[in-house]
Structure 1
Amino acid sequence: MHGFTDAEVALGRVADVEKAARARSGWYARYLWAFAAGQLVLVPIAVLWHGFASALAFGFVNTALVTGLSLYAARQRVVRRGFGVKHGVIVGIWAAVFVLAVTFGNTAFANSPAFAAAAALTCALPLATGAWLEMRRSS
């Protein structure tokens, strides 16, 4: 009977660790929401502004966003199984959409505020979708 008690205690610990991991993994949803919000600033800068001032503003805002998000992510203690693949897919889709949006925005739709707004929302969509899915999974 002693073996069953040990197994029961071990399984209880595993359940407690899993519960804590789920509760503490909501940080990734907040990370993605902040990244998505950054797109609402970065994409219009990249599409509507031109010249040195645009490059300087884009570089400053992007550096601040990436640095802040990286510091935030580095301080988190819980990373769920499959995180690397999930993050890679989300960021890969975002990167492809971002490159297409900026390319079309600077060639076919130069100086179009309507396109810049639509492109910003489109670039934020993969990140917001990932955040929403992570919120559902962590609760």
Structure 2
Amino acid sequence: MSGSGSVVDALGRASAAEKAARRGSGWYGRYLTAFAAGQLVLVPTALLWHGPLAGATFAVAQALLVGALSVYAARQRVVRRGSGVRHLVIVGVWGAVFALSVVLGTTVLTDSPGFAAAAALACAAPAAVGAWLERRSS
């Protein structure tokens, strides 16, 4: 019986470690939520405000957002398996949507508040969907 008792103990410790890892991995959902919220502000700024000061302000604000989120991510203990691929997909989709939004917003739909609002939602969507999936799986 002592052998089966140690197996049960080992399984209990493994289960406790898995629960702790799942609880600790909720940071990525918060990370994505903050990024999505930032896009709701930064994308309209990029599309509606013009000139060199606008470009510099947008670049600094985006760099501060990404920098702060990177520091936050680097301080986390738990990274779930497959997170790298999920993050690359989210950032890749965001990059494509953002690039398309900037091209359309600076050529065809210049100074359109409606388009800026729609583009902000579209740019926030990949991170928001990723945050929702992260919360659902943890």
TM class by shorter chain equals over 0.9
1:92 aligns with 2:98: no
Alignment correspondent of 2:114: 114
Tell me if structure 2 keeps the 8 A contact 1:45–1:57: no
SS in 2 for 1:99: helix
In structure 1, what is the equivalent of residue 75 of structure 2? 75
Q: What is the alpha-carbon distance in structure 2 between the residues aligned to residue 32 and residue 125 of structure 1? A: 10
Q: Give the AA of the match of 1:24.
A: G
1:102 maps to amino acid: V
Partner of 2:6: 6
Letter in 2 for 1:41: V
State the number of aligned residues: 138
Query: 1:57 — aligned with what?
Result: 57
Listed one character per residue, the Cα deviations across residues 75-119 of structure 1 (whole Å, up to 9, x for unaligned) are 111111111111111111111111111111111101111100100
| Deviations 1:36-78, CA, capped at 9 Å, x for gaps | 0110111112111221111111011111101110111011111
- The equivalent of 1:128 in structure 2 is 128
Where does structure 1 differ by over 2 angstroms across 4 or more consecutive aligned residues?
none
Task: Look up the match of 2:15.
Answer: 15
Matches of 1:18 and 1:32, distance apart in 2: 22
CA RMSD in angstroms comes to 0.9
Gap runs ≥5 in structure 2: none
Q: 1:25 aligns to what? A: 25
Amino acid at match of 2:2: H
Aligned pairs for 1:43-54 (under 5 A) are: 43-54=43-54
Could you tell me how far apart the structure 1 residues matched to 2:113 and 2:13 are? 55
Deviation at 1:130, TM superposition (A): 0.6
Question: Structure 2: how far apart are the matches of 1:30 and 1:22?
Answer: 14
Q: Tell me, yes or no, if the aligned pair for 1:28 and 1:134 is still in contact at 8 Å.
A: yes
Q: Secondary structure at the match of 1:13?
A: helix
For residue 69 of structure 1, what is the amino acid of its counterpart?
L
Which residue identity is paired with 2:27? W
